[in-house]
Amino acid sequence: MNVRKWPRKNDAESIRARQQALGLDGGVTAIDLEPFARAQEMLTGAAVLPVSVVGPLELELGEYELREPDGELAETGRATDSVFVPLAHTEGGLSASLHRGARAVAESGGFRTYVLADRITRASCFVCGSAEEAVTLSRFLDAHVAELRRWLAERVEADPALSKYAKLREVETHVVGPMCHVMWAFTTGDACGPNMMTRNAYALNMGFVMERAPVKPERAILEANMGGDKKPSHRYFERGGHGKTVIAECTLSEEAVRRVLRTSIDDLLELSWAGTHGAVASGMQSVAFTPASAIAAIFAATGQDLGMVGTSSMAHGTGKRVEGGLNCTIRLAGLEVGTVGGGTTLPYARSWLSLMGCAGAGKVYRFAQIVAAATLALEISASAAMATAGSHEFFKAHHERGGLR
């Protein structure tokens, strides 16, 4: 089969042609692909992931809205809820562990979650003839943020190729050499939003900057790696700006630590101390145990972009003895989630989002907080398994349940 001749369309016939050419049959071709016909090109079959449901997570969540015109994120209320969480994965022990963490927290008064920020950034780069010109451009942009916002707001009304949802909020420039990198920070409603912001950033680059800048850049690059897209970076670990910045916390009671987690607060604190220093020693940006396991499992069930597991898992966890027990928190700097658009509209994903009350518009902050709470549940339980002297529990957990490995 020649690479140039591979049929590319997603009509039933093309799909069948590919399946036959590859000799595929059985399970992978048995699932109806029609609902997925617009989700990707050269559709050929299906993959099935088993989904567990664990919980309920007992949470106190914030309610949030973006204030116009600045896009300030305001907390408008708080409410409690019980939520079951779907986990799509094949890692023996993970669901049981997350469930155990949720139990320990439920018995300790539940999770509290906070959304601290909401932005998504496309970092374009204008290559100029010199640093002098790049500095001039950067000063021009710094001085025209209001105009840039207004120009885009008008433009999206007129041009259906642009998105009304991707609203420009802040503009930051970074000059290095003859390059003027420009961080266009957007909000994108309840969508994760990379594509809508890409279109709008392109319009800003070509329609505003390249037309009006006092110096003519040699080149406009839509994204030149300051945007935090799919590769963890310190900028977005510290400041957020690529998704929702969320904190989940709880205060575990001595009783729950002992009875449910089968360890002690002292043991957990020792582990936290050693694990933090181990992270520093190995140049690990995150300080956490296994946030990616929880985040990947929820992402896979709910149609999120799995290429964003690494960036969404940048995490900073803490543990501290407080009155009443052990305060445990996790800070997810940039949880790249949506409840509309992308894979979230597809059949299975939509069902799993619905289970959590997170399908559709107005749900993205809720969803982000549930993901953070579930992540903390797993952190707690996995830490507990590792914390007891000699980590006998951890060993047992993997030994007994991880039979597939």
Residue 273 CB, shortest distance to its own copies, in Å, is: 7
16 lies in the binding site for its own copies (CB under 8 A): no
Q: Would residue 234 show up in a list of annotated catalytic residues for this protein?
A: no
Distance, in Å, from the CA atom of 122 to the CA atom of 119, rounded to the nearest integer, reads: 10
Which is closer to its own copies, CB of 278 or CB of 362?
A: 278
Contact string 119-148 vs its own copies (x = CB under 8 A): ----x-x-x-xxxx--x--x----------
Answer yes or no: are the C-beta atoms of 243 and 193 closer than 8 Å: no
Tokens 């790696």 -> residue: 225
Piece of the chain touching its own copies by CB under 8 A; list 63-71, 149-157, 225-233, 364-372: 225-233
Q: Which of 239, 162, 268 is nearest to 205 (CA)?
A: 162
Report which DSSP code applies to 208.
Answer: I
Q: Which residue has the tokens 């140039």?
A: 4
Residue 154 CB, shortest distance to its own copies, in Å, is 19
Residues 323-382 that bind its own copies (CB under 8 A): 323, 327, 329, 331, 341-343, 345-349, 351-352, 355
Is-contact 234 350, C-beta < 8 A? no
Which member of 231, 320, 392, 399 is catalytic? 392
277 lies in the binding site for its own copies (CB under 8 A)? yes
Which C-beta is closer to its own copies: that of 133 or that of 148?
A: 133
Number of residues this chain uses to bind its own copies (CB under 8 A): 182
Kindly name the residue from 9, 144, 174, 230 that is annotated as catalytic.
230
Is 72 a known active-site residue? no
- Indicate the residue among 86 and 243 with the shorter CB distance to its own copies: 86
91, 170, 172, 393: which one is catalytic?
91
Nearest residue to 297 (alpha-carbon basis) of 358, 229, 354, 352? 352
* Positions in 166-185 near its own copies (CB under 8 A): 174-179, 181
Q: How far is the CB of 128 from its own copies (least distance, A)?
A: 10
Q: Which amino acid is at 385?
A: A
Q: Could you give the CA distance from residue 99 to residue 93 in angstroms, rounded to a whole number?
A: 10
- CA 193-195-196 angle, to 5 degrees, is 70
Q: Which of 189, 188, 222, 191 is nearest to 204 (CA)?
A: 222
Q: Give kind and range of the element (H or E) at residue 134.
A: helix 131-143
Q: Which is nearer to its own copies, 77 or 403 (CB)?
A: 403
Instruction: Please state the closest distance from residue 399 (CB atom) to its own copies, in A.
Output: 6
Q: Name which of residues 60 to 79 contact its own copies (CB under 8 A).
A: none
- Residue 312 phi/psi, 5-degree rounding, is -70, -20
Our CB check for its own copies shows the closer of 200 and 366 to be 200
CB-wise, 295 or 337, nearer to its own copies?
A: 295
Residue 214 tokens read as 């006092």
Q: Which token pair is 252?
A: 């575990």
Which of 58, 190, 229, 305 does the annotation list as catalytic?
305
- Decide: 246 and 332 in contact? Cβ < 8 Å: yes
| Binding residue (CB under 8 A) for its own copies from 186, 299, 365, 367 | 299
Closest CA to 164 of 187, 141, 144: 187
Region binding its own copies by CB under 8 A among candidate stretches 108-116, 147-155, 357-365, 366-374: 108-116
In the complex, what is the shortest distance from the CB of residue 64 to its own copies, in angstroms, rounded to a whole number?
12
In this complex, which beta carbon is closest to its own copies, that of residue 69 or of residue 177?
A: 177
Closest CA to 32 of 297, 348, 341: 348
Question: Is there a catalytic annotation at residue 5?
Answer: no
Please report whether residue 212 would count as binding its own copies according to CB under 8 A: no
Contact segment (CB under 8 A) with its own copies among 63-71, 148-156, 363-371, 390-398 equals 390-398
Find where tokens 């909020």 sit: 169
Task: Give Cα separations from 23 to 26, 28, 33, 47, 54 (angstroms).
Answer: 10, 11, 17, 16, 38
- What residues from 78 to 97 belong to the interface with its own copies (CB under 8 A)? 82, 84, 86-96
Q: State the CB neighbour count (10 A cutoff) for residue 232.
A: 18
Strand partners, 250: 328
Q: Which of 64, 184, 186, 237 binds its own copies (CB under 8 A)?
A: 237
Any catalytic annotation for residue 305? yes
Least separation in angstroms between CB 68 and its own copies: 18
Residues 307, 297: Cα–Cα separation, whole Å: 13
Nearer to its own copies, 153 or 161 (CB): 161
The Cα 60–Cα 78 span in angstroms is: 7
Q: Could you give the residue numbers annotated as active site?
A: 91, 230, 305, 392
